[in-house]
Amino acid sequence: MAESVETWTFAAERLFEFATRVFQHDGVPEADARQAADVLIASDLRGIDSHGVARLHLYHQMLDLGRFNPRPRISIVRETPATATVDGDNGMGLVVGPRANEIAMDKAEAAGAGWVAVRNTNHFGIAGYYPRQALKRDMIGWAMTNASKLMAPVWSSERMLGTNPIAIAFPAKHEPPIVIDMATSAVAYGKIEIALRKGVPIPKGWALDADGADTTDAERVANGGSLLPLGGDRDHGGHKGYCLASMVDILCGVLGGAGWGPFAPSFAVQQEPPVRAVGLGIGHFFGALRIDGFIDPDEFKTQVDDWIRVFRSAEPAPGTAGPVVPGDPEHFYFEMRSEEGIPLVQAVVDDLRELSRKTGVPLD
């Protein structure tokens, strides 16, 4: 974030339009294309540059190669009033995810709670996008997804789990909502890539080398090493991060019949396919809880405002400006970038220009 690199700024609407038309070029129907673009741009607007238009060329590549289904028939394969399993028909996660999340919210509308496991789907963008939708309906939203292997369990040197994020959001009244969106690894893989690019060491407790030794050398992580779970080593609670990543893997992978653990397929074309097919695609898990199923929503939101203000005013640690509330950094970026546009680094602009050439969709 503090890197001084040259950027080019685009209005969010411009990038949304571009992404929509690229998806349409690749055979995605207009409504789905707009939905997929909305998830991508939501990420850029909130400062999570790794999950936004920077990935558009990957989605294009997978669609172009016929690896993703541009017109999935998304179906409910099993359900009760408050639960369902959805088959994404190998559609983009950016399309399957929002549809499955809507099913969870519709079930919550009717029964109080709605929980949906999804199989046969693909990368769904930022997890935090989904619970934010629930806020509009006075619900608490949850989203999780599994992903291809990058993380080693405690006491292992082998990549066995994805960075398996958990997101949950709570509405407030006058304050911005509380939105949690976190990988269950100690850090995202993107932080290893940044260290690689800069040639700087990484802190101990982030990752292992191929032999399973804690390393500060990003190069050794990239060459067959693995990320550590949240907490790091056993002494610092790494078994808890491993527990959380396992929970996400079972809810997303096993429960809906998707791939799990080391057998979750990768998003990228150049990665090897899993050695065993234990299920279909990767898996997501969505939840929605109607707040008025527990408490008057206005009372809840007033208390959440109170909670936020109490936590913001906690005693600051030395040398800090004091605690922030989950969702604050994303909110800060959203306010700024909605006004000023989205800054993209050269490599991303190059990718988009290349996409523009290939598809004939104008970028500027």
Smallest separation, CB 317 to its own copies (Å)? 4
Shortest approach of its own copies to residue 4 CB, angstroms? 21
Report how far residue 123's alpha carbon sits from residue 8's, in angstroms, rounded to the nearest whole number. Answer: 26
* Distance in Å, CB of 342 to its own copies, minimum: 24
In angstroms, rounded to a whole number, what is the distance separating the alpha carbons of residues 337 and 343? 8
| Closer CB to its own copies, 60 or 284, in the complex | 284
Per-residue exposure over 83-103, b if at least 16 CB sit within 10 Å of its own CB, e if not: bbbbbbbbbbbbbbbbbbbbb
Q: Which is nearer to its own copies, 10 or 285 (CB)?
A: 285
The owner of tokens 């028909």 is: 89
Kindly tell me which of 150 and 304 has the beta carbon lying closer to its own copies.
304
Q: Which is nearer to its own copies, 197 or 276 (CB)?
A: 276
How far apart are CB 40 and its own copies at their closest, in Å? 24
Of 246, 289, 245, residue with least CA distance to 116: 289
What is residue 199's three-state secondary structure?
Answer: coil
- Nearest distance from C-beta of residue 93 to its own copies, angstroms: 19
Q: What angle do CA 328, 329, 330 make, to 5 degrees?
A: 90
Residue 291 Cβ, how far from its own copies at the closest point, in Å?
8
- Which lies closer to its own copies via its Cβ, residue 38 or residue 79? 79
Is beta strand 282-290 parallel, antiparallel or unpaired with respect to 139-145?
antiparallel
Token pair belonging to 38: 């909305």
Closest separation in Å from C-beta 18 to its own copies: 33
Beta bridge partners of 287: 115, 142
| CB of 226 vs its own copies, minimal distance in Å | 10
- CB of 162 vs its own copies, minimal distance in Å: 14
Are 81 and 111 within 8 A, CB to CB? yes
**Beta pairing partners, 227:** 151, 207
180 Cβ contact list (under 8 Å, min separation 6): 128, 166, 167, 168, 169, 326, 327
Shortest Cβ 299–its own copies spacing (Å): 8
**C-beta closer to its own copies: residue 53 or 113:** 113
Element (H, E) at 115: strand 113-121
Output 303 or 346, the one with its CB closest to its own copies. Answer: 303
At 49, the amino acid letter reads D
336-341 long-range contacts, Cβ below 8 Å, gap at least 24?
337/12, 337/44, 337/45, 337/46, 337/47, 338/12, 338/45, 340/9, 341/9, 341/10, 341/11, 341/12
CB atoms under 10 Å from CB of 290, counted, come to: 21
Q: Within 10 A of 32 (CB to CB), how many other CB atoms are there?
A: 24
The answer to whether 214 touches 345, Cβ cutoff 8 Å, is no
Nearer to its own copies, 190 or 237 (CB): 237
CB nearer to its own copies: give 182 or 349. Answer: 182
Taking the least distance from each CB to its own copies, the nearer of 10 and 115 is 115
Q: How far apart are CA 115 and CA 164, in angstroms?
A: 18
